[in-house]
């Protein structure tokens, strides 16, 4: 069955055809490792993980690359001034009083732990920017030799006027962009165009005290040996080329990367390599909090540890992410996560019950497997695939054993750990999950007598209810 993907570049659904038979190269813009990643970042990473799982479910051998940005990502925003401010790693040094290397190691390890808790498939390659400076220098050298880049006293810039159809990914009108876009902290009089972006910053001016610098073959009269550091955009172009080749099958990232980061990746990669950079661009929408942008500054940049501290299983958060399509924004509230937690625990309870009554040797239920494949291959429609799963669970004519085998098959995409004996054996039975939901409904409608009767029924089944301001939880007595 053909996979169909919505390609940001063409703004249309397209049948997926890989460059090489049965092999797919996927690149995902990973984290800048200067701080803890919030769950909005982790939603994007979950979308990438689901993409890889769907490809593998369709029997493709996936070469998946997820990078770590540990230098060169400045503090300017991603709406046109990504070359502005100080290096985010330098900012973290001042905050944590550690070296850039220590900070990178700390937050990479933290991200790896988050990825493990959310059951991400481990990428084939996990390159760090600081380990690929030579590859970046070679790419910049090629751009200079071909006339697509130029040097000033402060930096090496890509000349956007030389790029072919520079804004085709974003559809932007460059005349609408503010004149200072990409200028940096100190306006560089040597820049040809306001939209030109830095490939290499020399260690002068605003960056004279940069903590991570390397010698280069580039020239500035203000610094010896071309000392400096790479721009953010060149890093992904260099690392993706090294591990996946000059043309990628699929490039994944958040929609915030479309107007600047990904637009610049296309321009520099295609100018340097002379071939198309990416065949299919996939972009996930934002995770909101109470219908507003998630932000650390507003106290809503929740981490996975905060989710766990509130008593939630990390895989309940993953289940929550599965309920919205990657191209739709998703609104996070603690109540919504609570509902996802109930649904996930109910699913685990059903798995346990099926194990208790089933025997080995169940067969995949073709009717539901076909509908599941149709859903995931239609632009990664995971919410529809979830609906197929619940329809199958409720089907009365299928045996528990066959349902169990089919659930395990579906979980190759969902990644909910349904085969994990520990999680399912400790799961709360589905009957109790349903009773708790009924009690919550009774309480919301102020039917206190009905809620009390349900509480008694739950206690007779060996569980107690813990009511908190974060919701109600079942605990075994």
CATH of the domain at 124: 3.40.50.620
Q: Are residues 320 and 273 in the same domain?
A: no
Does residue 418 form part of some domain?
Answer: yes
Does residue 441 form part of some domain?
Answer: no
Q: Are residues 278 and 370 in the same domain?
A: no
**What are φ and ψ of residue 250, in 5° steps?**
-135, 135
| CB-CB contact of 89 with 100 (8 Å) | yes
Cα–Cα separations (whole angstroms), residue 392 to 245, 374, 410, 451: 42, 15, 11, 30
Among 110, 124, 108, 127, smallest CA distance to 52 is for 124
Q: Are residues 328 and 260 in the same domain?
A: no
Cα 252-254-257 angle, rounded to 5 deg: 95
Residue 135, pLDDT > 60, answer yes
Assigned token pair, 206: 């605003």
**Residue that is last in its domain, among 242, 268, 284:** 284
Q: Are residues 271 and 326 in the same domain?
A: no
CB half-sphere exposure, 396, CA atoms < 13 A: 0
The tens digit of pLDDT for each residue in 375-408 reads 999 999 999 999 999 999 999 989 999 999 999 9
Does residue 226 form part of some domain?
Answer: yes
Q: 422: how many CB neighbours lie within 10 A of its CB?
A: 8
The tens digit of pLDDT for each residue in 272-293 reads 999 999 999 999 999 999 889 8
Does residue 411 form part of some domain?
Answer: yes
Does residue 137 form part of some domain?
Answer: yes
Percent of the chain residues past pLDDT 90, beyond the cut: 73
Total structural domains in the chain?
Answer: 2
**Residue that is last in its domain, among 284, 304, 330:** 284
Q: Which pLDDT value is given to residue 460?
A: 82
| CB-CB contact of 419 with 348 (8 Å) | no
Does residue 440 form part of some domain?
Answer: no
**What are φ and ψ of residue 324, in 5° steps?**
-125, 140
Q: 375: which residues sit within 8 A by CB, 6+ positions away?
A: 381, 382, 384, 385, 387, 388
Q: Are residues 120 and 40 in the same domain?
A: yes
Q: Are residues 255 and 354 in the same domain?
A: no
CATH of the domain at 416: 1.20.120.1910
Does residue 302 form part of some domain?
Answer: no
The tens digit of pLDDT for each residue in 402-458 reads 999 999 999 999 999 998 866 666 667 767 777 887 888 888 888 998 888 888 888
Q: Are residues 170 and 213 in the same domain?
A: yes
Which residue bears the tokens 């219908």?
291
β-pair partners for 422? none
> What's this model's pTM, rounded to 2 decimal places?
0.89
The tens digit of pLDDT for each residue in 60-95 reads 999 999 999 999 998 887 666 788 888 999 999 999
Q: 20: which residues sit within 8 A by CB, 6+ positions away?
A: none
The tens digit of pLDDT for each residue in 7-59 reads 999 999 999 999 999 999 999 999 999 999 999 999 999 999 999 999 999 99
Q: Are residues 224 and 329 in the same domain?
A: no
- Radius of gyration over every alpha carbon of the chain, rounded to an integer in angstroms: 25
State the residue range of the domain holding 137. 4-284
pLDDT band at 180 (very low <50, low <70, confident <90, very high): very low
Does residue 435 form part of some domain?
Answer: no
């Amino acid at each position: 069955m053909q996979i169909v993907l919505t390609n940001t570049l063409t703004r249309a659904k397209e049948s997926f055809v890989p460059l090489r038979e049965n092999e797919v190269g996927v690149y995902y813009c990973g984290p800048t490792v200067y701080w803890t990643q919030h769950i909005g970042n982790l939603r994007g990473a979950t979308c990438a993980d689901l993409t890889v799982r769907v490809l593998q479910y369709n029997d493709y051998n996936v070469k998946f690359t997820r990078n770590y940005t540990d230098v060169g990502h400045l503090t300017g925003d991603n709406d046109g001034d990504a070359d502005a401010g100080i290096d985010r790693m330098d900012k973290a040094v001042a905050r944590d009083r550690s070296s850039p290397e220590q900070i990178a190691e700390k937050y990479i390890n933290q991200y790896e732990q988050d990825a493990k808790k959310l059951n991400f498939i481990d990428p084939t390659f996990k390159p760090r920017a600081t380990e690929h400076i030579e590859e970046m220098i070679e790419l910049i050298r090629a751009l200079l030799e071909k006339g697509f880049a130029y040097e000033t006293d402060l930096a090496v810039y890509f000349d956007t006027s030389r790029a072919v159809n520079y804004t085709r990914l974003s559809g932007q009108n460059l005349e609408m962009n503010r004149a200072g876009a990409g200028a940096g902290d100190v306006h560089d009089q040597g820049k040809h165009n306001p939209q030109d972006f830095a490939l290499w910053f020399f260690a002068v001016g605003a960056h004279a005290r940069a903590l991570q610098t390397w010698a280069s073959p580039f020239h500035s009269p203000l610094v010896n040996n071309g000392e400096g550091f790479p721009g953010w955009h060149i890093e992904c172009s260099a690392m993706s080329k090294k591990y996946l080749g000059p043309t990628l099958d699929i490039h994944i990232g958040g929609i915030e990367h479309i107007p600047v980061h990904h637009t610049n990746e296309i321009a520099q990669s295609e100018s340097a390599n002379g071939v198309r950079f990416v065949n299919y661009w996939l972009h996930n929408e934002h995770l909101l909090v109470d219908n507003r942008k998630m932000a650390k500054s507003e106290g809503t940049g929740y981490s996975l540890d905060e989710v766990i501290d509130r008593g939630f299983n990390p895989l309940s958060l993953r289940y929550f992410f599965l309920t919205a399509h990657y191209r739709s924004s998703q609104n996070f509230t603690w109540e919504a996560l609570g509902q996802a937690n109930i649904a996930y625990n109910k699913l685990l309870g059903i798995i346990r019950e099926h194990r208790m009554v089933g025997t080995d040797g169940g067969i995949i239920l073709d009717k539901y497997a076909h509908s599941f494949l149709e859903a995931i291959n239609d632009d990664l429609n995971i919410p529809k695939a979830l609906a197929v799963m619940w329809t199958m669970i409720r089907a009365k004519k299928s045996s528990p054993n066959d349902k169990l085998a089919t659930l395990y098959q579906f979980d190759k995409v969902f990644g909910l750990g349904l085969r994990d004996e520990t999680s399912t054996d400790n799961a709360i039975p589905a009957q109790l999950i349903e009773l708790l939901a009924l009690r919550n409904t009774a309480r919301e409608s102020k039917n206190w007598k009905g809620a009390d009767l349900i509480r008694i029924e739950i206690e007779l089944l060996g569980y107690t209810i813990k009511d908190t301001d974060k919701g109600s939880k079942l605990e075994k007595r």
